[in-house]
Amino acid sequence: MGSIIRFLGNPGSRPSVSQRAPIAGSLTEVEIPTKKAEDGGLTILDNSSDEISESEMGHVDVREEGAILTTHGFTGLQKDFGDRVLDKLVMFAGTQFIFFIMWAIIIVWIVLGIVYKAPDNWQVVMQDGQSLQSYFWDTLLMRQQLTSAHDHTNVCAVLRSRIRTFKKFGLSPAAQLAREKSQEDVQATSYEVQGALKDGKGELVVESWYDRLSTLASKLIGSLPAILIFWGGIFAWVGCGALPLATGNNPPFSSSNPEYKKFSDLWQLCINTATAVPLLICTMFLQNIRARHEKYITKLLAAVFDIDTEIEEHLRTVNGDFTTPNEIVTIPARDRSVFEKVIDVYADIIGTGVGLVIAIGAIAAWLAIGNVMSWSSNWWLIIGTYTGLIGFLDGSVLRQVYFRIVNQEEENYALMAQEDADLFEALGLHCPDELFVDHKKAKSSFSLKISNAINRACSSQLCVLASISTIIGLIIVASALRWSTTGQLICNTPTMIIEEFFLIVLIQAHNWADKRRRIDVSTLYARRCLLRSHLKGANN
């Protein structure tokens, strides 16, 4: 990642993640001993058997302002300057500033269309601009979801490392003696637990009108009615294609007049423009929702880390042990099919900056041939056709990769919840059932079941394969037409329609998955509050 040469030696890699929580307490800066010894009654364990070095594991920093910083990226390589720049761009893309810029562009484009009476080039400019925007936004969205999944895997490994220390130190006689306290102390923290559960309904915090607008837009766009309305509009457009449309300057109407055509280029341009504008708007809202979700989740996780550190320091103080290292927890890489590995290689090309280099080269080549093609409408369509075809493939890859990421995150948080349950049981402590959520047992409405079926179908490997086959077929057709305006529009039209559909499905999937994750982390925080109460007492 970062350096292209280094990346090309490691594309599509998804190595196992190993983490060891740092020792909490006053002696956190000491080096972990590597041989058995007895020093002042403190047990020092042999760590020489650990095959994974600290540098290989990397570091995880969960910050209160809402950011997770890791030294290694999702391909296992150490992050460099290029990675940090891309991560900053991901955050910047979800800001209100970008929101206002995009709307300003749309308003200026509408005004120019009114002034110049909506010529063909006016529509092509929007389609090209939107295709370029989606092309670059796909890089940011892919990187955002790959980085987020990697960060949360590391976080889960660190938290599970501490859970095992709690279990080991919490069962010692000294800890059991210190845990004997009045029921009032435990009861006193019930307000804190209930406060965590109050925020555990899965809703995002609304801080401004823009947040409120983004949340509403994501719910409306990512819904089954939106999908039905979208396809209803597409079928209506197909029907309109059978109506003769004037292609000249107000020619006299006659069904036999060659200046009236069915399924004309203008007919295709209209639907391309009609899908380009929503694509532009939807990507803005999706980026904002993702940024707000990550900020909300990370702030909760930062609070969990603080409580974990507090609990560990207390247990180490009670046991007089600040040298025994926390266990290394390894979350193994998931098994992948050969085609999934190929998909991940392409995902890395999109999400690591290599794709941006390719994009810049393609745009430079397009600009270079502008004068040769006399800056014609056909020239304008070229970049839209290229980015449209690539964006079409990117959309299917985004969905397939995200589907696997969601399943992995759900498994990681479920395993952590199970270790929490085992810890409470081992310590003989009661934890309410409402603090353990099983999403698989949650009741689903008929609409939700249909939407889930659509999501699964659109997230399959077969869907990606179908996208590749479609692109090859469109290229063959356009080549047969010598890449004329009609040939390029044939490439653009179906890809933009399906890309918009994929984006609706992606927003819908994000809404569901993000809400489940917020519930997972909220209940995790509530469990930590309760555990701290039991182990330390509310007044400590």
| Alpha carbon distance 204, 296 (integer Å) | 7
**Full pLDDT tens readout for the chain, 540 residues:** 444 555 555 667 788 888 998 888 644 433 333 333 344 333 333 343 455 655 567 788 888 777 888 888 887 778 877 788 888 888 887 777 887 888 888 899 889 889 888 887 788 788 778 778 877 888 888 888 888 888 999 999 999 999 999 988 888 777 776 666 534 445 445 555 555 555 545 666 666 777 787 778 888 888 888 889 999 999 999 988 877 766 655 555 444 555 556 778 788 888 888 888 888 888 777 777 788 888 888 988 999 999 999 999 988 888 888 888 999 999 998 888 889 989 998 998 888 777 778 888 888 998 898 888 888 777 877 888 888 888 889 888 988 998 898 888 889 999 999 999 999 988 888 888 888 887 777 676 777 778 778 888 888 899 999 999 999 999 999 899 888 888 888 888 888 888 888 888 878 888 888 888 888 998 999 899 888 888 776 444
What is the SS3 assignment for 191?
A: helix
291 within 8 A of 513, measured Cβ to Cβ: no
| Alpha carbon distance 161, 159 (integer Å) | 5
Measured in degrees and rounded to the nearest 5, phi and psi for residue 395 equal -60, -45
Contacts of 245 (CB under 8 A, 6+ apart): 260, 261, 262, 264, 266, 267
pTM tops 0.85, yes or no:
no
Structure tokens that stand for 478 in this block: 């356009």
157 within 8 A of 17, measured Cβ to Cβ: yes
Measure the CA angle with vertex 22, ends 17 and 28; round to 5°. Answer: 160
| Alpha carbon distance 113, 85 (integer Å) | 36
Structure tokens that stand for 289 in this block: 């929702």
Sign of the alpha-carbon dihedral angle for 216, 218, 219, 221: positive
Contacts of 460 (CB under 8 A, 6+ apart): 400
pLDDT tens figures, 209-256: 777 877 788 888 888 888 899 999 999 999 888 777 666 555 554 445
**Would you state the torsion angle of the CA atoms of residues 100, 95, 212, 391, taken in this order, to the nearest 10 degrees?**
80
pLDDT tens figures, 27-86: 443 333 333 334 433 333 334 345 565 556 778 888 877 788 888 888 777 887 778 888
